[in-house]
């Protein structure tokens, strides 16, 4: 096979051995380094749905205290659905996105009326709800219903691009190449935990600016390391 491959061909030919090594290294890293957030301590679909809504375009550390206060005030879907949008907007004001409260309340009403008050458990049904995009729908499926749904955000995209030498387009969330790669590298089991591993690794180690390449467990096989000549840390 030639070493000069198009992006689509690179997604087709990600080496199984390299994927396996990628899995092993990141799973070992995750065993000691996964972050702790309140929504990660529950399997309640409603609580996870709320968390995913609050996490849209918001860093987890900022969302955490708002989430805990919100769940305390609105512990069930029925309670939230009965609350005026204006009150919900005040509760979420610190997170920004003025339309977040409106879309959340609209989704609650639809779920109450069309799904008997139960969070939909399929990607297709979740995508019909206001404010729910592909990432949010798949994350809910993975974390609330233990479905094998890989996710792609800027953190995951950055890891895949750097490690496998892929080049996504400007709008990462819509890039077919990177979505395909994310699905290809996802394990058969515990995809929810795998998703969290990638999110945290991208937030802690493989950051957008000044990545910690010297302390990275992927150092030995990373395409980005090879292309930039980053030194290896002796602390590994």
Kindly state whether residue 196 falls inside one of the protein's structural domains. Answer: yes
Instruction: Quote the number of domains for the chain.
Output: 2
pLDDT higher than 70, residue 1: no
The CATH number linked to 191 is 1.10.1670.10
Note whether 50 and 135 are same-domain residues.
yes
Cα–chain center distance at 88: 24
- Which of 117, 145, 173 terminates a domain? The answer is 145
Note whether 199 and 181 are same-domain residues.
yes
Note whether 68 and 93 are same-domain residues.
yes
The CATH number linked to 58 is 1.10.340.30
Kindly state whether residue 234 falls inside one of the protein's structural domains. Answer: no
Tell me, what's the pLDDT at 173? 54
Question: Residue 132: helix, strand or coil by DSSP?
Answer: coil
pLDDT higher than 60, residue 36: yes
- Which of 108, 124, 145 terminates a domain? The answer is 145
Ordered alpha helix ranges (H), the chain: 7-12, 16-33, 45-54, 60-73, 77-81, 85-92, 100-114, 123-126, 134-145, 154-164, 176-185, 191-204, 223-228
Tens of pLDDT, residue by residue over 104-157, are 999 999 999 999 999 999 999 999 999 999 999 999 999 999 999 999 999 999
Return the half-sphere exposure (C-beta side, CA atoms, 13 A cut-off) of residue 32. 5
Tell me, what's the pLDDT at 168? 75
pLDDT higher than 50, residue 9: no
Tens of pLDDT, residue by residue over 178-233, are 999 999 999 989 999 999 999 999 999 999 999 999 999 999 999 998 877 665 54
Domain enclosing residue 95, as ranges: 38-145
Kindly state whether residue 107 falls inside one of the protein's structural domains. Answer: yes
Kindly state whether residue 188 falls inside one of the protein's structural domains. Answer: yes
Kindly state whether residue 235 falls inside one of the protein's structural domains. Answer: no
The secondary structure of 28-89 as a DSSP string is HHHHHH----GGGG---HHHHHHHHHHTTTS-HHHHHHHHHHHHHH--SHHHHHTS-HHHHH
Note whether 54 and 104 are same-domain residues.
yes
pTM over 0.75: yes
CA-based nearest residue to 101, from 136, 131, 137: 131
Note whether 138 and 62 are same-domain residues.
yes
- Which of 86, 111, 145 terminates a domain? The answer is 145
């Amino acid at each position: 096979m030639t070493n000069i491959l198009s992006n689509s061909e690179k997604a087709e030919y990600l080496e199984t051995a390299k994927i396996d090594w990628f899995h092993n290294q990141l799973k070992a890293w995750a065993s000691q380094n996964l972050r702790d957030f309140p929504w990660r301590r529950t399997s309640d679909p409603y609580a996870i749905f709320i968390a995913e809504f609050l996490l849209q375009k918001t860093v987890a550390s900022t969302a955490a205290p708002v989430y805990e206060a919100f769940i305390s005030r609105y512990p069930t879907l029925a309670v939230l659905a009965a609350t005026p949008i204006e009150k919900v907007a005040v509760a979420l004001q610190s997170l920004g996105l003025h339309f977040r409260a409106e879309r959340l309340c609209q989704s609650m009403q639809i779920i109450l009326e069309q799904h008997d008050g139960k969070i939909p458990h399929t990607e297709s049904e979740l995508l019909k709800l206001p404010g729910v995009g592909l990432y949010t729908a798949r994350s809910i499926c993975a974390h609330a219903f233990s479905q094998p749904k890989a996710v792609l955000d800027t953190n995951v995209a950055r890891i895949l691009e750097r490690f496998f030498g892929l080049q996504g387009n400007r709008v990462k969330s819509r890039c077919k190449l990177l979505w395909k790669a994310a699905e290809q590298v996802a394990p058969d089991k515990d995809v929810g935990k795998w998703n969290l591993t990638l999110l945290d690794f991208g937030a802690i180690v493989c950051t957008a600016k000044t990545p910690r390449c010297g302390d990275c467990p992927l150092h030995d096989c990373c395409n980005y390391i090879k292309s930039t000549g980053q030194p290896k840390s002796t602390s590994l």
